[in-house]
Structure 1
């Protein structure tokens, strides 16, 4: 999901360089609907029980409009809308995401807090983190990845300097139904 990296109790090494973005993000191909299949838990998505999705489109200013939705533990729809602004014109893979009215996330323009660090060659999946590696999201165009794609995702997580055991699978209709560390989940081949 497009979100900032605020996690209580975790800290990144002070000397660690931010993870590298993909060499070139084709923003037009990145727009559309993404299913969250795994994530490092964040305070803002603890309400989400299943079917967490992000929908990205261009807005009138040329930025990315963000609509994040999920089904809550009570079975209702949860939704938040925001904006993502490209901060890196060379790769277009580093953005600042904001959500109006949300403390610490309500400034439209600011430092990078969303880095696309890996992509499936066909844009079928993406790995997103932040400069401090406190957040992480495995996104997919479909509710399910095949075993080879999951292997690529785990390799990308390690390459980004993260631990796949910190990622928990996200229940998705048509995909995995349980919450488990990605390093030991049914997605593990």
Structure 2
């Protein structure tokens, strides 16, 4: 008899989880309404992120510096500290998709000569941003990536928790977030 209940319960859980997953997948990721790129420029410290393969060697002090390139696109300079204590850097290019105030960008860290290939560009959607441009959340349309960025290396816990609630409302699994150690400044 326990086997029957167990099977029914397992089936129910499977159907429920499939239904919840499919609802999340059917709900599009919402970006902010507009992005003032000049205000977004400068240094952003990574507060937390979904784990990803290209940052696997970054253990602390991860940050990104955005500036304007001569061609009007953005220069992205990412840096982090690895296990050996050395700082590594990666330089990329970001371009806005759509209107001049579009919160949807694409980023490329591959060599410039590969820029014509669509697969070298990754989505960079600003999905949350405070009015002072001090706290941001960035993702992609598939919710595979998520970064929480701040203008300061440390973030007030209440502000962080409020952002997590907004991200959960957007169907992000915030349990997957890894905090990024940052040296105090």
Indicate whether 1:76 and 2:74 are aligned. no
Indicate whether 1:126 and 2:109 are aligned. no
Shift in alpha-carbon separation, 1:80–1:45, aligned structure 2, 3 A: same
User: Normalising by the residue count of structure 1, what TM-score does the alignment of the two structures yield?
Assistant: 0.78
Indicate whether 1:135 and 2:145 are aligned. yes
Separation in 2, partners of 1:108, 1:124: 33
Q: Which residue of 2 aligns with 1:38?
A: 48
User: Normalising by the residue count of structure 2, what TM-score does the alignment of the two structures yield?
Assistant: 0.79
CA deviations on 1:129-175 (whole Å, 9 max, x unpaired) are 01100000000000111123112210221133201101110011128
Separation in 2, partners of 1:60, 1:99: 17
Q: Which 5+ residue runs of structure 1 have no aligned equivalent?
A: 1-11, 176-189
The answer as to whether partners of 1:86 and 1:95 remain within 8 angstroms in 2 is yes
Pairing partner for 1:107 from 115, 128, 140: 115
Displacement of 1:73 after TM fit?
1.0
Shift in alpha-carbon separation, 1:82–1:153, aligned structure 2, 3 A: same
CA RMSD of aligned residues (A): 2.2
Q: Which 5+ residue runs of structure 2 have no aligned equivalent?
A: 1-20
Displacement of 1:20 after TM fit?
1.1
Separation in 1, partners of 2:147, 2:107: 14
Pairing partner for 2:158 from 117, 134, 148: 148
Q: Which residue of 1 aligns with 2:63?
A: 53
The answer as to whether partners of 2:66 and 2:77 remain within 8 angstroms in 1 is yes
Of Structure 1 and Structure 2, the greater helix share is in 2
Separation in 1, partners of 2:29, 2:117: 21
Q: How many residues align?
A: 161
Separation in 1, partners of 2:157, 2:115: 39
